[in-house]
Structure 1
Amino acid sequence: MSFVETHGLWTDDQHTAHAALLERLKESDVQVVRFSFPDQHGLLRGKTLVVDEAIRAFRNGVTLTSTLLAKDTSHRTVFPVFTAGGGFDMPEMQGACDTLMVADPETFRVLPWAPHTGWVLCDVYFANGRPVPFATRHLFRRALEQLGNHGYEFMSGLEVEFHVFKVTNPNMKPEHSGQPGIPPDVELLSHGYQYLTELRYDAVDGVMEMLRRGIDGLALPVRSLEVEYGPSQFEFTFAPTTGIQSADDMILFRSAVKQICQRNGYHATFMCRPRIPNVVSSGWHLHQSLVHVAGGTNAFMPTDPGAPLSVTGQRYLAGLLAHAQGATALSTPTINGYRRYRPYSNAPDRAIWGCDNRGVMLRVLGGANDPATRVENRVGEPTANPYLYFGSQVLSGLDGLRRKLELPPSADTPYETQADALPRTLSDAIAALRADDCLREGFGSAFVDYFCKLKEAEIDRFNLEVTEWEHREYFETF
């Protein structure tokens, strides 16, 4: 029996999709298949197999070194993998041993920019068939199962901001390499600050069309393409989907944008605030609601015309507020992302909610008789791992439902309302995550400690650097 069959890893729908996929591969001109998994940072890693090997690997998995799960954002291995337990206190993780990527056949696509290349998203398992507890797609799926046990399904839609620049020098000389290496030199595609003007959109239409064609070929549910406020800043919005799909779509969207741009002389970045003069920070707004499994109706839509949300929606929203500090490490996982939290900036700086107010953290949209009633969380940065960001929302909201939390008053003046501040730094956010019992229980203590250690490795490296500000401030004065 195959690895998939031995351990019962696929649903009936996945088995059906696999059978159809085999027929499709026999008839197509696909020559290689990329097997990819979303790592702890939401980056795609994996291997490329020639098509005949790929067909055999769908049921038996693709080996992958466990050290990929031990790396920070510089791709340095943070954990002592050659010690007992591999630094994880787990025999399965020691010695840089193999794990197995198992494809999810329902995610298969042919990449429009690489027409002979198939792509499939994978889940990661140990050789004994146990899910790797640090694989974030597993963690989000587990949170969705808990939600399903309460009779709800998660619905989410995306608004994603990012920057695209023209590469003037890729900086590929040997001295530019490193861990990390020197990023490319770039120039702007637009000056910015002409928010949503048609003239500015037309100036970048060629790049927008290049991206649209590639994304459209992946069948992602794009709704709009927009010129954002800042120089060379774009925004794509996506139609709402249920379950894990929106998170899968975000993983593929980010990678697709970067690959398409890279092939055509551009550099796309989802970094929150690049070090570019007059830059505007990029955010990632997550629209979310719950749907009744029985009937498919919106569980947030109120029946009382005077209520912003149903009782279910209010308790869910109260849960998001109660765990806002701990969840911030998962929605804003980089040092750079905290430069966005500023008052009077269309970005939140405290844990508050309001009705159709862009200054709050949690913006309630819709109302009585509106099946699109939802909560928009405006806290995230576009680098976030979507499985962790979304998972933190589901676990926090579920806690509000279980404990029947009361929703505090709305904030009509978001930067003047007294409320708990969001963490000001990644260090503060990590401390809040460590102390959050709900998120620790939901994700597992082992994962929370693991994630915090990875982030602390980044912080430690940052603290060893001498910044330009320090040099300018002190070098001459003292």
Structure 2
Amino acid sequence: MISRPWSVHGGEGAVGRPSFVAEFGLWDDRRAAAAERVETQLGEVDLVRVVFCDPHGLARSKTVPAGVFRAVLRNGMDFSAGPFLFDTGHAVAVDFLTDPGVGVGELLGAGDFVLVPDPRTFQVLPGTEPRTAWVLGDEYLRDGSPHPLASRAVLRRVLGRYAEHDLAPVIGLEVEWYLTRLTGGTPGNAGNGFGLQGPAPAVEAMNSGYQFNLDGHYDSVAEAADPLTVLLAELGLPLRSMEHESGPGQMETTFAPMLALDAADAMLLFRTQVKRFCRRRGLHASFMTLPRLDSFDSSGWHLHQSVLSTKTNRNVFAATTDAPNAVPDAVPDSVPSAAPDAMSPEGEAYVAGLLAHARELCLLSVPTVNGYRRLGPEFTLSPTTADWRFEDRTAMVRVLSGGESTHVENRIGEPCANPYLTIASQLHAGLEGLTAGAPATRDAYPPLPKSLSEALDAFRAGGSAERLLGAPLKTCLEKLKESETARFDAWCAAERPAAGEVTEWEHREYFGVF
């Protein structure tokens, strides 16, 4: 028999090490029970995609046979540190040959980390052949400690702080994106390399666009949108609507409220499966904010937010006519009616936190050069200042008042942003407002950045980002975005594009990968 020193039983190489989960006590009872359920399903699948979210919000994965995954589930799986080192164009932005400078020694030499699947996220993908499942994982250093650059861990830490206050955030996703038709041509490898993106996919628009919810225009995308809607439901995502937005083939997909970590996981699964579904049908889905295509409109990601008291199961944002300044200790037999255009002081304090930190944390909701093209006066329903109003889509924070359904809609985000960092940053800002207790005012807040470079400067200068992310991840993101902006600036200096136009550089950088 041939010796296999790096086999699934040996614990080295590609599949972590034996009993990694048990050795470091990484699972609670819910995950352990979910793992047992997953093991009973593995006979029904052929392959498993083991996935994590990189700092840019892109899903990175390895595909393993189901038999191998039996070991991966409890041993973890080794992954290269590359996704933490690359900027959006896969230029090496974090030096791994000398001291990387981010405070994570295991990056030196691009050493592996261990990805541990979260069995609660295990999904069998409908209609796949071979039969394929998809599972999210959490990143750990080899000593069993959470990886300092893991974005899912950031959101978990924020949720832990909410739990200390007996609170649980609730998130609703409203996502705009583009559906286009591939027209063939080369695969885009000409001139491609690390930091040198080849041509973006060649596409054509699905229709003329510039209408709103016109039934006939929906029919022009229904060949993809209708079966996609069925797929999302089969994946267990709480889909509310699939709509045709304003641009040519521009879609909007909305989901029912979820707990925050579930919402972030759902966003990653949604984007990944939409792109997979479309690619296999000769279509291309893109979550780039503003593609370099004729007459395309900008896309946004509107994040709906509220906070529940875990003691009373009541929405702490809701204002009531007979108790406007207090959240009751228990759910009453009859809930008092809400005043029109009203929000509790706690809700206003949360909004104040969103506005006060909007400039410093903008980088985490609008992380690309292209995303800042949307935050301009030419796009009338996109925010240009840090402000709030009731039922006003021109404000950054739109407050929707309605008793227990009262919530805020932050309209700043772009649809390709990292869901864990976007949601964590807004919840972090809101909690800082809540704990400070000062209601939002109509006074001017610091202006929103007008470019990625300006957002990066604000991100560097403030202290809230480090409190949220920790010094290693904050420093790593700075290096990634410095590389991205430097490459863009160098291209612009050489090519001198017309002012205000979406550049070829942006289209190559973002349209395909996002």
Q: Report the TM-score, using the length of structure 1 for normalisation.
A: 0.93
CA distance in 1, matches of 2:128, 2:198: 26
Matched, 1:148 2:182: no
- Secondary structure class of the residue paired with 1:451: helix
Matches within 5 A, 1:338-417: 338-343=372-377, 345-367=380-402, 370-409=403-442
- Measured after TM superposition, the shift of residue 248 of structure 1 is 0.3
- Measured after TM superposition, the shift of residue 170 of structure 1 is 4.3
Q: Answer yes or no: is the 8 Å Cα contact 2:351–2:439 preserved in 1.
A: no
Question: After alignment, is 213-222 or 374-383 more displaced?
Answer: 213-222
Deviations 1:297-350 (A, max 9, x none): 111101242662111111111100110101210000000000001226100000
CA distance in 1, matches of 2:28, 2:83: 27
- Secondary structure class of the residue paired with 1:175: coil
CA distance in 2, matches of 1:142, 1:471: 43
- Measured after TM superposition, the shift of residue 398 of structure 1 is 1.2
Deviations 1:379-436 (A, max 9, x none): 00001101111111111111112222231039xxxxxxx6542100011111111222
Question: After alignment, is 401-410 or 340-349 more displaced?
Answer: 401-410
Q: Report the TM-score, using the length of structure 2 for normalisation.
A: 0.87
- Measured after TM superposition, the shift of residue 359 of structure 1 is 0.1
- Measured after TM superposition, the shift of residue 74 of structure 1 is 1.0
- Secondary structure class of the residue paired with 2:109: helix
Q: Answer yes or no: is the 8 Å Cα contact 2:123–2:235 preserved in 1.
A: yes
Q: Which residue in the other structure is 2:9 paired with?
A: none
CA distance in 2, matches of 1:327, 1:174: 35
| Relative contact order higher in (CA < 8 Å, ≥ 6 apart) | 2
CA distance in 1, matches of 2:494, 2:288: 19
Q: Answer yes or no: is the 8 Å Cα contact 1:171–1:183 preserved in 2.
A: no
CA distance in 2, matches of 1:471, 1:355: 40
Matched, 1:16 2:33: yes
Q: Answer yes or no: is the 8 Å Cα contact 1:165–1:266 preserved in 2.
A: yes
CA distance in 1, matches of 2:201, 2:279: 11
CA distance in 2, matches of 1:231, 1:237: 19
CA distance in 2, matches of 1:46, 1:140: 20
CA distance in 2, matches of 1:136, 1:419: 28
Q: Which residue in the other structure is 1:289 paired with?
A: 306
**Residues 471 and 364 of structure 1, relative CA distance in 2, 3 Å threshold:** closer
Whichever residue aligns with residue 467 of structure 2, its letter is: E
**Which of 101, 120, 138 in structure 1 is aligned with 2:115?**
101
Q: Answer yes or no: is the 8 Å Cα contact 2:115–2:138 preserved in 1.
A: yes
Q: Which residue in the other structure is 1:125 paired with?
A: 140
Q: Which residue in the other structure is 2:70 paired with?
A: 55
CA distance in 2, matches of 1:462, 1:302: 47
Q: Which residue in the other structure is 1:71 paired with?
A: 86
Q: Answer yes or no: is the 8 Å Cα contact 2:189–2:199 preserved in 1.
A: no
Task: Please provide the CA RMSD for this pair.
Answer: 1.7
Deviations 1:340-373 (A, max 9, x none): 0122610000000000000000000024xx2111
**Residues 280 and 131 of structure 1, relative CA distance in 2, 3 Å threshold:** same
**Residues 398 and 166 of structure 1, relative CA distance in 2, 3 Å threshold:** same
- Measured after TM superposition, the shift of residue 182 of structure 1 is 1.2
CA distance in 1, matches of 2:394, 2:30: 42
Q: Answer yes or no: is the 8 Å Cα contact 2:102–2:475 preserved in 1.
A: no
Whichever residue aligns with residue 273 of structure 1, its letter is: L
Q: Which residue in the other structure is 2:7 paired with?
A: none
CA distance in 1, matches of 2:136, 2:274: 17
Q: Which residue in the other structure is 2:508 paired with?
A: none
- Measured after TM superposition, the shift of residue 174 of structure 1 is 5.1
CA distance in 1, matches of 2:188, 2:452: 33
Matched, 1:246 2:263: yes
Matched, 1:431 2:445: no
Deviations 1:265-296 (A, max 9, x none): 01110000000111100000000000011132
CA distance in 2, matches of 1:287, 1:434: 27
CA distance in 2, matches of 1:469, 1:152: 51
Runs of 4+ displaced beyond 3 Å: 176-179, 466-469
CA distance in 2, matches of 1:422, 1:53: 48
Q: Which residue in the other structure is 2:236 paired with?
A: 219
**Residues 267 and 135 of structure 1, relative CA distance in 2, 3 Å threshold:** same
Whichever residue aligns with residue 122 of structure 2, its letter is: F
CA distance in 1, matches of 2:495, 2:248: 23
Whichever residue aligns with residue 376 of structure 1, its letter is: E
- Measured after TM superposition, the shift of residue 113 of structure 1 is 4.2
- Secondary structure class of the residue paired with 2:460: helix
Matched, 1:180 2:214: no
CA distance in 2, matches of 1:321, 1:348: 12
Whichever residue aligns with residue 280 of structure 2, its letter is: R
Q: Which residue in the other structure is 1:311 paired with?
A: 345
- Secondary structure class of the residue paired with 1:244: helix
Identity rate, percent: 39
Structure 1 unaligned blocks of 5 or more: 411-417, 474-478
Q: Answer yes or no: is the 8 Å Cα contact 1:302–1:310 preserved in 2.
A: yes
**Residues 166 and 176 of structure 1, relative CA distance in 2, 3 Å threshold:** farther
Whichever residue aligns with residue 57 of structure 1, its letter is: V
Tell me the number of residue pairs that the alignment of Structure 1 and Structure 2 aligns: 461
Q: Which residue in the other structure is 2:370 paired with?
A: 336
Matched, 1:137 2:152: yes
Question: After alignment, is 31-40 or 112-121 more displaced?
Answer: 112-121
Q: Answer yes or no: is the 8 Å Cα contact 1:170–1:183 preserved in 2.
A: no
- Secondary structure class of the residue paired with 1:169: coil
- Measured after TM superposition, the shift of residue 88 of structure 1 is 2.7
- Secondary structure class of the residue paired with 1:465: helix
**Residues 170 and 223 of structure 1, relative CA distance in 2, 3 Å threshold:** farther
